[in-house]
């Protein structure tokens, strides 16, 4: 099958959606499909052979922050050329509601279009204003995928219609087979995420830490992620600061070894999560997980069956649960076991097959993807295009 | 005077273009419904065929075979108005027969059973998918067709008002379990 995938965010900036697309593309290539990914990238960044650059993304203020987006005449032309040269059986657009490549492709293409909605953005003001234009483009999507039941609910609320739920994929064995590192073992609590991004919840963990360290005198906190380390430990009493270790940004291999080594993985995120891939990675590596009870997290953890949940932003509850888990090896072993079994449904073997099922469902009997002349050419707009 | 006429003409052309664009949108939506309906039909038919194959294979006990055969046969033969009911009954029969892991294991162990079980698992997974895509297209078309501009100018022509396909498509637990 000839598959075209559209990535809305810059390929050179690491991020969840980019990694998902990379793994998905490589999975399909291994199965023998032809895959081309269209992504924003600087023209001089080295790209894997299957990625086509759609030009540089432009930073613009959008939806309350600065987003790097692709739009305008040049990007639209590149999208059309990619569609034309690719002659795809199906195209898979990620994040079609962001005003970037996804929307441009929706606008310019016709034929079987699959779209994955990753985030669960509330409808923005701009989207309401552009609603009729957006609706006309989104109507062309033949199959919608939401990454979680939670994301599906928001999607249905804001755009109507329905979607199938297919979770994000993880290479489970990559994590399950990583070698633990001795220096990261021994009553260690792990945290991975941006240090200076409050929504990742490190401040909540820092607030809970004195209580945890008081009850477990040998415990240590290991933090992997970018950000200002001084600022992160500011709220902590000086004598406890030595028990927090910062590892900075870690490679994929070290991340897997990190998750294999820690005795407890804590995800204190306070919001803005639509899936929680890190929890799946932690469970794959066999780390017992303690997470805030966000909708998305609760679902990934099977309502608390595969990992423990604490009330969101409640540092006391987090501390109590962490102390209890660190003192109960039996319970941790149980969580490891349940997590490892539960996580198989997120393996690429399952997720990739499901996504392929979606492709096959929408391409059955349908013509291949083509440029939509009705909306792109002047003749089309005048109603003179040959159909 | 001439200026007013020109303006009226321009306005008419703009309205005309807008209506033609809307008609194009509607046309595309109808095409999408047709494709989605064809895909749903294909998946339903595939599911009924695999079920019937399993029912006549002799792998299942006689009682289960009869229940499954009846339901699969009824689903394949159903008239359009009875279709949703018959397909829902097949879903129920499949759930009753393949509710337990042991039954699925027994099918897998039989010669050629591995493929049959895999095919059935795929079919019961794809039916809900195809149905969701179909109903999503129906919803989009209905939303547009209810709009004033479409009703007043009869942009939908003689195309029948699209109907969602409602059925019970819950897959059997033992086949849908992805943890294995």
pLDDT digits (tens, 9 = 90+) for A13-28: 777 888 899 999 999 9
pLDDT at A17: 85
Spatial separation of the C-alpha atoms in residues B137 and A141, rounded to whole Å: 9
Decide: A223 and A206 in contact? Cβ < 8 Å: no
Q: Are residues A70 and A180 in the same domain?
A: no
Q: How far is A383 from chain B (nearest CA, A)?
A: 7
Structure token digits, residue B9: 């003409």
Q: Within an 8 Å CB–CB cutoff, is residue A385 touching chain B? A: no
User: For residue B24, which residues of chain A lie inside 8 Å, CB to CB?
Assistant: 374, 383
Does residue A323 fall inside a structural domain? yes
In a domain, A63, yes or no: yes
Q: Chain A: nearest CA to B179, how far in angstroms?
A: 5
Q: What pLDDT sits at residue A383?
A: 46
- Statement: residue B94 has pLDDT above 50: yes
Q: State yes or no: ipTM above 0.90.
A: no
Give me the pLDDT at residue B165, please: 92
pLDDT, residue A63, reads 57
Biggest distance spanned by C-alpha atoms of chain A: 78
Q: Are residues A152 and A202 in the same domain?
A: no
Q: Tokens 């027969």 appear where?
A: B97
Does A22 share its domain with A98?
A: yes
What pLDDT, on a 0 to 100 scale, did the predictor assign at position A373? 65
A376 assigned to some structural domain:
yes
Place of tokens 């999975």: A27
Query: How many DSSP H helices and E strands does chain A contain?
Result: 17, 17
In this structure, what are the phi and psi dihedrals at residue B97, rounded to the nearest 5 degrees?
-80, -45
- For tokens 């987090």, name the residue: A318
Write down the residue that tokens 């590596």 correspond to.
A285
Nearest CA in chain B to A115: B133
pLDDT in tens, A251-283: 889 999 999 999 999 999 998 787 888 999 999
Through-space distance between the first and last CA atoms of chain B, rounded to whole angstroms: 79
**CB proximity list for A113: less than 8 A, separation 6 or greater:** A90, A91, A92, A93, A106, A140, A141, A142, A143, A362, A369
* Contact predicate A169/A346, CB 8 Å: yes
**Side-chain-side CA neighbours of residue A137 (13 Å):** 23
- Asked if residue A386 belongs to a domain, the reply is no
Contact residues of B toward A, CB < 8 A: 17, 20-21, 24-25, 28-29, 32, 35-36, 38-39, 42-43, 122, 125-126, 128-130, 132-133, 135-137, 139-140, 143-144, 178-180
What is the domain range of residue A193?
172-344
Q: Give start and end residues of each alpha helix (H) in chain A.
A: 16-30, 72-86, 101-108, 125-129, 131-138, 149-159, 172-176, 202-215, 229-232, 252-261, 277-284, 295-300, 315-326, 329-342, 348-363, 373-376, 378-381
The reply to whether A52 falls in a domain is yes
Name the more confident of A144 and B155: A144
In angstroms, the CA A312 to CA A285 distance is 24
Tell me: do A17 and A134 sit in the same domain: yes
Q: Which residues in chain A are closer than 8 Å to B129, comparing Cβ atoms? A: 143, 164, 357-358, 361
Give the confidence band of B180 by pLDDT, cuts at 50, 70, 90. Answer: very low
All residues of chain A having their beta carbon less than 8 Å from the beta carbon of residue B120 are none
Question: Both A337 and A239 in a single domain?
Answer: yes
Helix (H) or strand (E) holding A2: strand A2-6
CB–CB contact B135 A361 (8 Å): no
For B11, the token pair is 């306005």
- Whether A227 and A338 map to the same domain: the answer is yes
pLDDT at B71 over 50: yes
Q: Which residue of B has its CA nearest to A343?
A: B179
Give the residue on A whose Cα is nearest the Cα of B142.
Answer: A161
Query: What single string gives the DSSP state of each residue in A332-361?
Result: HHHHHHHHHHHGGGGBHHHHHHHHHHHHHH
Q: Which of A144, A345, A374 sits opposite B136 (nearest CB)?
A: A144
Please, what is the angle between helix A252-261 and helix A277-284, to 10°? 60
Both A336 and A193 in a single domain?
A: yes
CB atoms within 10 A of CB B112: 11
**Same structural domain for residues A359 and A234?**
no
Partner-chain contact B136 A161, CB within 8 Å? yes
What CATH number has the domain bearing residue A48? 3.40.50.2000
Q: Do A164 and B128 touch (CB under 8 A)?
A: yes
Does residue A69 form part of some domain? yes
Rounded CA gap, A163 and A336, in Å?
A: 32
- Tell me the count of A-B CB pairs closer than 8 A: 79
Distance CA(A335)–CA(A109), nearest Å, equals 47
Q: Is residue A387 part of a domain?
A: no
**Which residue of chain B has the CA closest to A167?**
B178
Distance from the Cα of B60 to chain A's closest Cα (Å) equals 27
* Average pLDDT along chain A: 86
Q: Which of B13, B120, B136, B176 to mutate to test the interface with A (most CBs of A within 10 A)?
A: B136
Beta strands in B46-122 (DSSP E): none
Question: Per-residue pLDDT for B179 more than 60?
Answer: no
Residues A175-230: tens digit of each pLDDT: 999 999 988 988 999 999 888 888 889 999 999 999 999 999 899 999 998 888 88
Please check whether residue A290 is in contact with residue A265, taking contact to mean a CB–CB distance below 8 angstroms. Answer: yes
Q: CA triplet B21, B27, B31: central angle to 5 degrees?
A: 145
| Same-domain check for residues A189 and A294 | yes
Is A381 in the B-facing interface, judged by CB distances under 8 Å? yes
User: Does A357 contact B180 at a Cβ distance shorter than 8 Å?
Assistant: no
Q: CA of B83 to nearest chain A CA: how many angstroms apart? A: 20
pLDDT at A119: 73
Rounded to the nearest angstrom, the minimum Cα separation between B49 and chain A is 17
Number of structural domains chain A divides into: 2
The shortest CB-CB distance from B28 to any of A140, A160, A161 is to: A140
Are residue A165 and residue A223 in the same domain, yes or no?
Answer: no
The DSSP H or E segment spanning B131 is: helix B113-145
A203 and A304 assigned to the same domain: yes
More confident residue, A136 or B141: B141
A376 and A288 fall within a common domain: no
* Cβ contact A161–B140 (<8 Å): yes
């Amino acid at each position: 099958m000839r598959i075209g995938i559209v990535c809305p965010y810059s390929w050179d900036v690491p991020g969840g959606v980019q990694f998902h697309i990379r793994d998905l593309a490589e999975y399909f290539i291994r199965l023998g499909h032809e895959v081309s990914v269209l992504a924003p990238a600087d023209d001089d960044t080295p790209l894997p052979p299957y990625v086509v650059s759609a030009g540089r993304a432009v930073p613009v203020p959008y939806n309350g922050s600065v987003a790097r987006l692709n739009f305008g005449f040049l990007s639209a032309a590149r999208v059309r050329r990619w569609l034309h040269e690719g002659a795809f059986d199906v195209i898979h657009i990620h994040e079609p509601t962001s005003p970037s490549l996804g929307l441009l492709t929706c606008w310019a293409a016709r034929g079987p279009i699959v779209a994955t909605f990753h985030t669960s953005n509330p409808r923005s003001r701009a989207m309401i204003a552009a609603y009729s234009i957006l609706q006309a483009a989104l109507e062309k999507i033949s199959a919608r995928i939401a990454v979680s039941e939670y994301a599906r609910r928001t999607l249905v609320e804001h755009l109507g219609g329905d979607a199938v739920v297919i979770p994000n994929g993880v290479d489970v064995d990559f994590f399950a087979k990583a070698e633990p590192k001795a220096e990261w073992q021994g009553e260690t609590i792990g945290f991975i995420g941006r240090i200076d991004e409050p929504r990742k919840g490190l401040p909540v963990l820092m607030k809970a830490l004195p209580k945890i360290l008081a009850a477990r005198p040998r415990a240590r906190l290991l933090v992997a992620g970018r950000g200002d380390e001084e600022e992160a430990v500011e709220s902590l009493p000086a004598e406890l600061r030595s028990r927090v270790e910062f590892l900075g940004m870690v490679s994929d291999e070290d991340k897997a070894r990190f998750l294999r080594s820690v005795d407890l993985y804590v995800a204190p995120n306070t919001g803005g999560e639509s899936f929680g891939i890190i929890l799946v990675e932690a469970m794959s590596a066999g780390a017992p997980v303690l997470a805030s009870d966000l909708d998305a997290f609760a679902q990934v953890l099977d309502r608390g069956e595969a990992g423990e949940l604490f009330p969101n932003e409640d540092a006391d509850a987090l501390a109590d649960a962490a102390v209890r888990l660190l003192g109960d090896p039996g319970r941790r072993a149980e969580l490891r076991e349940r997590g490892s079994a539960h996580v198989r449904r997120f393996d690429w073997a399952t997720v990739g097959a499901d996504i392929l099922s979606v492709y096959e469902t929408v391409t059955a009997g349908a013509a291949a993807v083509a440029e939509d002349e009705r909306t792109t050419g002047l003749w089309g707009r005048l109603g003179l295009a040959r159909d | 005077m001439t200026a007013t006429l020109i303006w009226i003409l321009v306005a008419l052309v703009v309205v005309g273009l807008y209506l033609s664009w809307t008609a194009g949108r509607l046309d595309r939506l109808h095409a999408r419904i047709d494709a989605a309906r064809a895909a749903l039909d294909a998946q339903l038919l595939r599911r009924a065929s695999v079920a019937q194959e399993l029912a006549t294979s002799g792998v299942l006990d006689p009682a289960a075979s009869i229940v499954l055969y009846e339901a699969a046969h009824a689903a394949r033969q159903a008239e359009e108005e009875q279709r949703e009911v018959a397909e829902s009954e097949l879903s129920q029969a499949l759930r009753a027969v393949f509710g337990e892991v042991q039954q699925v294991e027994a099918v897998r162990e039989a010669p050629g059973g591995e493929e049959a079980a895999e095919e059935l698992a795929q079919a019961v997974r794809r039916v809900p998918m195809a149905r969701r895509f179909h109903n999503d297209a129906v919803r989009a078309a209905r939303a547009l067709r209810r709009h004033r501009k479409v009703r007043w100018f009869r942009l939908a022509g003689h195309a029948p008002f699209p109907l969602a396909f409602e059925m019970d498509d819950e897959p059997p637990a033992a086949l849908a379990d992805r943890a294995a």
